């Protein structure tokens, strides 16, 4: 059996997408051993039956290794597409005219149907329409209720049902389709820990999803549209985490604008204490190659230096030829970056100012105290996970051990920078808190006899959001021997 106590040495988390290359239990175990901290289920592909089997495999692994496993279900969101062509394929010539209309008849080189009435309502003259992942660019010359006339700025081949991006306007459509609602119900019934919401344009989209989720999972907003970037501060307030989804974002904005936006979103998320995931094409070449390009390695390293909570693999682990190797490579890159002496300073370029609460004050102080007294770990007792999120926001230099009586909380913390969560029985008084802190620090191998650890909790115990205690504890040399087997067993 794998140890349930020893935390990863790496603090940034790895989120691995599961798919045809990695859906069987043996491969899921290999991905975990290679460094995956959380698993993404892409609801755009596969059946509910298949997803149910994958989720069951993750939970079986969780039970076997006695470690909370984090599962994120990623909703597909609306997919905007053009209609079909009479010959299946046309060639759009630069500077030619092209019309998108409500006529359902097959298209040709001059027109095609657009089965999305919401776009007709919102589009304006001068706006861009991007087809086939941005390979074809149209500029609107006339906007009508039944037809949109455009000039082809960048031409090329266009075939049936190719995707459409509308970067310059907010489209009056919900972020969730009927499929998404069905997928959401399924995912919640399966007990997933995070829901990723696609096509977020405004904070109201997140509010709608949160209402449907009803607290059964945490909510992550994928930032992939310019309209979401413009309202990022409001969206961050409305969600539990965000993802810099660079795929669609890189289609709708110039590619040279993506790196600075990535840094800005990471910084804003960290300032608010929201976990932030960097995703898409991080090790793209490893879909077919056992090694990445040097540029991809640098890309992953940049996200780690910026202090992202998690970095994500998409097709590399879901459908590629080298899923385990992709995870292992990401783990090696992140570990090497965190070993760089300059990493500490770079991660703290972002100033995370605490709110005027005792919990924030103690969380901020914990990192400085750890350095001053040479503590070997920070240990948080938490019910909701809020204490752990506050401490993690400070990016402490020592391990962060999170003890919680709620398995749901332990699972959700799998996307949190540096957090090693343990599902354990709660404590009822100060003495129990100190004793359990010592036992768990030794069992997790983050401290030894004679070392100091910092303990944070809320009194009265078991009250969410009541963090008001910071205590420095020194471990005795024979600490584990001083406790009975029954006490250790009660830890859970």
Tell me the average confidence (pLDDT) per consecutive run of 10 residues in the chain, 492 residues long. 65 98 97 97 96 98 95 96 96 97 96 96 96 95 96 97 94 94 98 97 96 98 96 97 94 93 96 95 97 98 97 97 98 98 90 81 91 94 92 94 96 97 90 91 91 89 77 79 54 59
Q: Does residue 345 form part of some domain?
A: no
Asked whether the beta carbons of 317 and 260 are under 8 A apart, the reply is no
Does residue 170 lie within any of the structural domains? Answer: no
Exactly one of 150, 280, 387, 404 is catalytic; which is it? Answer: 280
CATH number of the domain where residue 196 is located = 3.20.20.60
Active site residue 222: yes
406 lies in some domain = yes
Residue 442, token pair as written in the block: 């030794």
Are 19 and 109 in a shared domain? no
Note down the domain range covering 422: 358-490
In CATH, what number is assigned to the domain containing residue 117? 2.40.33.10
Report yes or no on 319 lying in a domain: yes
Q: Which of 137, 165, 193 is the last residue of a domain?
A: 165
Residue 280 designated active-site? yes
Q: Which residues contact 204 (CB under 8 A, 6 or more apart)?
A: none
Please indicate, yes or no, whether residues 196 and 333 belong to a single structural domain of this protein. Answer: yes
Q: Does residue 143 sit in the same domain as residue 203?
A: no
The CA distance from 431 to 436, in Å, is 9
Residue 8 forms part of a structural domain: no
CATH at 404? 3.40.1380.20
Question: Domain check: are 120 and 257 in the same one?
Answer: no
Residue 456 within a domain? yes
Choice among 222, 225, 263, 408 that is catalytic = 222
Catalytic position from the list 8, 30, 79, 81 = 81
Same domain, 160 and 179: no
In angstroms, rounded to a whole number, what is the distance separating the alpha carbons of residues 308 and 276?
6
What was the pLDDT predicted at 481? 57
In-domain check, residue 248: yes
Domain boundary (104, 135, 165) is at 165
Check whether residue 182 and residue 233 sit in a common domain: yes
- Which residues, 6+ apart, have CB-to-CB distance to 56 below 8 Å? none
Domains in the chain: how many in total? 3
- Residue of 11, 13, 29, 40 marked active site: 40
- Could you tell me if 155 and 203 lie in one domain? no
334 and 416 inside one domain = no
Q: Is there a single domain that holds both residue 179 and residue 161?
A: no
126 and 44 assigned to the same domain: no
Looking from the CA of 358 toward its CB, the CA atoms found within 13 Å total 10
Answer whether residue 82 is part of any domain.
no
- Residue 356: the pLDDT is 77
The answer to whether residues 73 and 96 belong to one domain is: no
Domain end marker among 165, 198, 224: 165
Both 111 and 210 in one domain: the answer is no
């Amino acid at each position: 059996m794998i140890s349930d106590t020893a935390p990863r040495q790496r603090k940034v988390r790895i989120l691995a997408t599961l798919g045809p290359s990695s859906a069987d239990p043996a491969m899921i175990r290999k991905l975990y051993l290679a460094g995956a901290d959380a698993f993404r289920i892409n609801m755009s592909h596969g059946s509910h039956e298949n997803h149910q089997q994958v989720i069951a495999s993750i939970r079986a692994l969780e039970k076997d290794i006695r470690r909370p496993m984090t599962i994120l279900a990623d909703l597909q969101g609306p997919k905007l597409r053009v209609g079909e062509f009479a010959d299946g394929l046309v060639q759009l010539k630069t500077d030619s005219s092209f019309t998108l209309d409500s006529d359902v008849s097959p298209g040709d080189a001059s027109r095609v149907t657009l089965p999305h009435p919401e776009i007709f309502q919102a589009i304006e003259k001068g706006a861009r329409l991007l087809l086939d992942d941005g390979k074809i660019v149209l500029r609107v010359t006339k906007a009508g209720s039944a037809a949109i006339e455009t000039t082809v700025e960048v031409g090329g081949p266009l075939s049936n049902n190719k995707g459409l991006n509308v970067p310059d306007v907010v489209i009056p459509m919900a972020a969730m389709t009927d499929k998404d609602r069905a997928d959401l119900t399924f995912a919640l019934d399966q007990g997933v820990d995070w829901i990723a919401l696609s096509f977020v344009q405004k904070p109201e989209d997140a509010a709608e999803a949160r209402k449907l989720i009803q607290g059964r999972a945490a909510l992550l907003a994928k930032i992939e549209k310019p309209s979401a970037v413009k309202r990022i501060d409001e969206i961050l307030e409305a969600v539990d985490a965000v993802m810099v989804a660079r795929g669609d974002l890189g289609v709708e904005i110039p590619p040279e604008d993506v790196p600075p936006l990535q840094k800005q979103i990471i910084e804003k998320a960290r300032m608010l204490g929201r976990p932030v995931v960097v995703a898409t094409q991080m090790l793209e070449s490893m879909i077919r190659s056992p090694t990445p390009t040097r540029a991809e390695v640098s890309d992953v390293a940049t996200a780690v230096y910026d202090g992202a909570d998690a970095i994500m693999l998409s097709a590399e682990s879901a459908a590629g030829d080298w899923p385990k190797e992709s995870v292992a490579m990401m783990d090696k890159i992140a570990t090497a970056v965190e070993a760089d002496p300059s990493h500490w300073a770079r991660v703290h370029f972002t100033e995370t100012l605490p709110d005027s609460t005792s919990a924030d004050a103690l969380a901020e102080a914990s990192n400085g105290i750890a350095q001053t007294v040479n503590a070997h770990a920070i240990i948080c007792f938490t019910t909701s996970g809020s204490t752990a999120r506050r401490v993690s926001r400070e990016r402490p230099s020592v391990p962060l051990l999170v003890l919680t009586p709620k398995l749901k909380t332990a699972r959700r913390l799998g996307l949190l920078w540096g957090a090693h969560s343990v599902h354990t029985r709660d404590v009822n008084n100060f003495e129990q808190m100190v004793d359990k802190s010592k036992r768990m620090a030794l069992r997790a191998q983050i401290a030894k006899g004679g070392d100091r650890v910092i303990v944070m909790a809320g009194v009265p115990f078991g009250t969410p959001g009541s963090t008001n205690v910071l205590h420095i504890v020194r471990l005795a040399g024979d600490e584990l021997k001083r406790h009975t087997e029954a006490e250790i067993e009660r830890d859970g």
